[in-house]
Amino acid sequence: LGRGNLYLLSGNFAAAISDFNISLKIKPDFVDALNSRGSSYNAQQKYDSALYDLNKAISIKPGYKMAYKNRALVFMKIKKYKESINDFNKYLESEPEDADIINNVGVCYQSLNKFDESIKIFDKAISINPKPAFYLSRSFSWYLLGKKEEARKDAALAKQGGVVIPEAYAKYFGL
């Protein structure tokens, strides 16, 4: 499992999957290997395989927070935002200060055109960790709500923090 995770982190997904397959031949219900192989499949855009492994890991160990987080990331990629929100929230039950995941929840609400809700979520992420990228996320929701001054302020904060602002957006706000 250790070498497979090193392969996963280095982007060698085929080698990672090969190592996880070996672990799973020895112990088919090894939730860590299922979770990591699911993450590898996700990185390869093999979403059905990723969901199969992550669903199996969760069925074996229903409280396995990392499998919920990783399944939520797959759901985001395949635009199943409600499912993604549900899984992120399960993960956040045990990691309530994970600002990156909170921001992802905000992006999901934004993708569902629930901009007021997304702003509340982005506010929470920013209060935990004021990453410049979170300001850009919130900026888009402000903009889509027609609150251009708030959008401009957040875009400017993101740019000051080193985030690359989409060209048309930056031009619109004079950034």
pLDDT in tens, 153-172: 999 999 999 999 989 888 88
Express each pLDDT in 114-154 by its tens digit.
999 999 999 999 999 999 999 999 999 999 999 999 999 99
C-alpha to C-alpha distances, 83 to 47, 64, 79, 159, nearest whole angstrom: 14, 16, 9, 32
Q: Looking at this protein, which amino acid is placed at residue 73?
A: L
145 burial type by CB count under 10 A (0-12 exposed, 13-18 middle, 19+ buried): middle
Residue pLDDT, tens place only, 47-75:
999 999 999 999 999 999 999 999 999 99
Taking CA atoms, 131 is separated from 112, 138, 139, in Å, by 23, 11, 13
